[in-house]
Structure 1
Amino acid sequence: MSDEPEHHRQDNRSPALHFEMVRRKPAALLTGIVTDICGYRETRPGHFRIVEYASLTVPLVISFAEPFAIGLGHSPGDNDRHASFAAGLYAGAVMIESFGGACCVQVNFTPLGARQFFGLPMSELRDRMVGLDDALGFAGIALREKLGETTDWNARFDIAEGFITSRLAEANALSPEISWAYRTVIMSGGRTRISALAGEIGWSRKHLAAKFTDAIGIGPKTLSRIVRFNRALSLSKRQDEDWAGIAADCGYADQAHLVREFRQLAGETPTGLAAMI
């Protein structure tokens, strides 16, 4: 375990679990770029399934063993196997299956951090998984080989952080207008009007949407929807599922509007989702 104060690891190990997970918060200089780095290894055979809901995490997965089966908005099939890949934002539910032999490092980027790290329009990653060689070229393949040479999670995390830091040193700066608009949407809980954002910057709504899509893969309207959804989901854990009140707190037109958004972004009704988490 690292002794540096800005590094923290969290181990989830139990005989009842089918996996080992080790998690580290990134170094301070990666604040706002990377939210966390995880090591995951399955420890017994089986067929395992999880569902992830619309989020603002852009993952880079580097695999050392069996691939995952991943379906965007549907149960994955035989053609949905992915080993090492980067995945952009997706405004819906993601079904992930594994079969007892998965082992990987996962780096979770913020949307703005991903744009700097990958150095390409994030619209190229939106709604899809892109292979490691396509996302990072030969450097990505070399990174995977280096990570695979050790089985120690802490050493792997050090290697991953070093690679990210080195790549960011050569990255272009983000547009200050897009950075400001993104953070404004986040801080408002997704309730800021898009026309107000564009007006404050001095851009048209169309220009703002185009720049947003390049930077994070989705437009400001979709970003606001995902932010509102996640805030509503968080509030449901503290307000005894008062969905009408939650809808009002989060800026939905009414409870029916909230239900429609949950169906689209999570594939479940609010009550159905609350019962599962």
Structure 2
Amino acid sequence: MPVEMQHHDQLDRSVAGRFEMVRRAPGFQLEGAVTDICGYRETTPGRFRNVEFASLTVPLVISFAEPFAIGLGKNPGDNDRFGSFAAGLYAGPVVIESFGGACCVQVNFTPLGARRFFGLPMSELTDRMVGLDDVLGLEGTALRERLGNARDWSARFAIVETFVATRLAEARETQAEIAWAYDRIIVSGGRIRVSSLADRLGWSRKHLLGKFSNAIGVGPKTLSRIVRFNRALGLSRQDRCGWADIAADCGYADQAHLVREFRDLAGETPTTLAAQA
């Protein structure tokens, strides 16, 4: 399958030439709602395994080949097969396996972008993979067919960008208070207190939790945990300070607290992840 390197698409190939991955940064119409769009195709039979850690990405995967095996917090079983689907936030590691015949387009949404695009409570996607037909109906079926018939990655990206941009343009904006609270958590590195957010908004913590679950898929406390974890993981990969310093900088009670969070959100200890990196 030819890959056209247009519009600043970035092509990555595995060392053994077993797969190709093409990435495109979102156009201005998708900014703030989509982080990137990926095309993935396996070129050699085999078994691929990848573990993704808790993140703020809400993926939409549109497959036109073999399904993936996916396990939330565990190795996937025989019944854990998913083709085209959307997945909400999950506060834990996700184990993904494929078998040499996968080919798909993946759109990576921000949580607030996903709420606008799908037009449904994000709690319906939390800790789940939901089939394309269930989240997009007949529009999703038609989109998958068009992408499967497209001549190359560049054409597929153009189709999916137009589709996403059209839905976003027709969607209602996220409630300003939730967008503000979400931004405060991100900017603070997950260190702002939930009670402080509720007080600033004049809401009860229960009301804030309900609004957050609808718009984001998880409550502000869980979101803060994921933000702190990813900040700590990023600092560890800069190799400039020890774990005790990282724990203090990211707002953990102590190093033991950081270790527990890494086990919950990545399935590994900090030192194991550092060695893998």
Q: Stretches of 4+ moved more than 6 A in 1?
A: none
Say what the alpha-carbon RMSD is for the aligned residues: 1.1
**What TM-score, normalized by structure 1, do the two folds share?**
0.97
1:274 CA displacement = 1.3
Residues 73-128 of structure 1: per-residue CA shift (max 9 Å, x gap): 00001000000000000000000000000000000000000000000000000001
Equivalences, count? 274
Question: 1:130-188, CA deviations, whole angstroms, 9 ceiling, x for partnerless residues?
Answer: 00000111101110011111131011000001001111122111100000000110000
Counterpart residue number, 1:250: 250
Mapped to 1, the partners of 2:14 and 2:209 lie a distance apart of 46
Equivalence for 1:199: 199
Matches of 1:2 and 1:201 in 2, distance apart? Answer: 47
Between the aligned partners of 2:170 and 2:14, the Cα distance in structure 1 is 41
Q: Which moved more, 1:125-134 or 1:7-16?
A: 7-16
TM-score normalised to structure 2 length: 0.97
Match for residue 172 of structure 1? 172
The residue identity in structure 2 corresponding to 1:197 is L
Q: Show the counterpart of 2:93.
A: 93
User: What percent of counterpart residues are identical?
Assistant: 73
Q: Distance in 2 between matches of 1:14 and 1:226?
A: 29
1:12 matches 2:1: no
- Code of the residue aligned with 1:153 in structure 2: it is W
Structure 1: which 5+ residue stretches go unaligned? none
Deviations 1:18-55 (A, max 9, x none): 11000000101211100000000001000110000000
Distance 1:13 1:117 in 2: 30
SS in 2 for 1:258: helix
**Residues of 1 paired with 2:81 and 2:101: CA distance?**
13
Aligned equivalents of 1:85 and 1:147: distance in 2? 15
Structure 2 residues without counterparts, runs of 5 or longer? none
Aligned amino acid, residue 259 of structure 1: V
Q: Determine if the alignment matches structure 1 residue 66 to structure 2 residue 94.
A: no
Equivalent positions of 1:257-272 (< 5 A) are 257-272=257-272
Distance in 2 separating the partners of 1:15 and 1:200: 51
Number of the residue aligned with 1:75: 75
User: In the alignment, which residue of structure 1 is the partner of 2:52?
Assistant: 52
Higher deviation after alignment, 147-156 or 206-215: 147-156
- TM-superposed CA distance for 1:241, in Å, is 5.6
Confirm or deny: 8 A CA contact 2:5 2:11 kept in the other structure: no
Report the 3-state secondary structure (helix = DSSP H, G, I; strand = E; otherwise coil) of the residue aligned with 2:135: helix
Secondary structure at the residue paired with 1:264? helix
| Match in the other structure for 2:231 | 231
Q: State how far apart, in whole Å, the 2-side matches of 1:169 and 1:258 are.
A: 41
Q: Pairwise mapping of residues 32-181 of structure 1 onto structure 2 (< 5 A)?
A: 32-181=32-181
